[in-house]
């Protein structure tokens, strides 16, 4: 086909043929240049750049992760008409998606637009951030949660792990409290922290790296912390803890259905049998787990005013401005 066009235009009028780098075009190039001795074949510059961008995404983990997150943000917003209206209001009509000549150029152009409109996107969700942060700092900002974050291998070895003074403060608060007067145990565990954070010993084995996100944190520690038994026991105790009392509260709700002021002479065993009978549970479990997709927060980050002006209560430890980034609630 290419030869037919050259013949139609005239061999003396054609200097080069530009195509992409697909295998079929390469084969056609060889055949055409053997026949047309004065002709040049040149790879497509746009296609070459597109392949570069594709290699960036495939071979550089940070690029792949960033592009994946960007696609999630744009998909979340553009699949909801109400959020599209909010987006246009906060960005003054600018769109997140920037179509390019190729698919991969579109990805990077869109990332550039996301970065450009970062402030506007955060402002869209600022009221939600404020509500979440207010509840978080007053109720869930606990030293045990901080220690669990530090000891979770999926978090510890992630690219966005924050090893701040505030994190270390919660970790060492748990260490001192759980070790009590056993100073030797506390010192041993403290020395073993370096082996964990630097992925030395069993922590550095390739299989340990591959299963950081596959195994539960407790199973991961049980598998790869034989070299640090004291730290392993400390980590497994913290990571095995539950973070919710919902299961117990559901049981109390079930008990209320069979035990009341008028019906209060049931023996404990009979009550247990009635509560464990599925026929008494009239409400489907899924009804307690409904999530309104319109208000799922897809963005990382927090409001700049989150907790900034909150006064510390008596149950909150102020760790100081020099070595800690934020206060957290003590274990008391």
- The residues spanned by each domain of the chain are 2-43, 61-124, 142-239
DSSP string, 2-33: HHHHHHHH-GGG--EEEE---HHHHHHHHHHH
190 Cβ contact partners less than 8 Å away, ≥ 6 residues apart? 172, 175
Segments of the chain with pLDDT less than 70: 1-3, 5-6, 11, 13, 37-38, 98-102, 247-268, 270-332
Output the pLDDT for position 76. 87
Structure-derived torsion over alpha carbons of residues 326, 114, 293, 245, reported in degrees to the nearest 10: -20
Output the pLDDT for position 306. 37
Residue 142, strand partner residues: 329
Distance CA 113, CA 98 (A): 7
The separation between CA 250 and the C-alpha centre of its own chain, rounded to angstroms, equals 30
- Main-chain phi, psi angles of 236, to 5 degrees: -65, -35
User: Vertex 84, ends 82 and 88: CA angle to 5°?
Assistant: 120
Output the pLDDT for position 302. 38
Provide the whole-model pTM.
0.52
From residue 180, alpha-carbon distances to 104, 184, 187 in Å are 56, 10, 12
């Amino acid at each position: 086909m290419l030869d037919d066009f050259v013949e139609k235009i005239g061999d003396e009028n054609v200097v080069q043929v530009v195509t992409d780098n697909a295998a079929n075009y390469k084969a056609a190039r060889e055949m055409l240049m053997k026949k047309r001795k004065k002709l040049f074949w040149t790879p497509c510059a746009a296609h070459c750049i597109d392949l570069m961008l594709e290699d960036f995404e495939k071979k550089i983990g940070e690029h792949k992760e960033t592009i994946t997150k960007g696609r999630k943000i744009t998909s979340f917003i553009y699949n909801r008409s109400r959020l599209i209206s909010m987006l246009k209001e906060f960005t003054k009509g600018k769109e997140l998606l920037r179509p390019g000549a190729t698919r991969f150029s579109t990805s990077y152009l869109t990332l550039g637009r996301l970065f450009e409109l970062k402030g506007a996107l955060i402002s869209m969700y600022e009221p939600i951030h404020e509500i979440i942060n207010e509840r978080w700092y007053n109720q869930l900002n606990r030293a045990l949660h901080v220690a669990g974050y530090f000891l979770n291998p999926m978090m510890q070895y992630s690219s966005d792990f924050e090893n701040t003074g505030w994190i270390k403060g919660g970790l060492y608060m748990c260490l001192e409290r759980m070790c009590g007067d056993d100073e030797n145990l506390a010192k041993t565990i403290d020395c073993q922290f370096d082996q964990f954070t630097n992925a030395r010993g069993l922590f550095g084995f390739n299989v340990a790296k591959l299963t950081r996100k596959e195994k539960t944190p407790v199973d991961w520690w049980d598998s790869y912390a034989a070299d640090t038994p004291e730290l392993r026991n400390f980590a497994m105790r913290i990571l095995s803890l539950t973070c919710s009392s919902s299961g117990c509260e559901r049981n109390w709700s079930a008990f209320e259905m069979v035990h009341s002021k008028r019906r209060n002479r049931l023996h404990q065993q009979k009550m247990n049998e009635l509560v464990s009978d599925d026929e008494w549970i009239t409400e489907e479990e899924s009804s307690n787990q409904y999530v309104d997709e319109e208000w799922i927060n897809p963005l990382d980050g927090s409001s700049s005013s989150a907790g900034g002006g909150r006064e510390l209560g008596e149950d909150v430890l102020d760790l100081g401005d020099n070595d800690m980034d934020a206060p957290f609630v003590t274990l008391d």
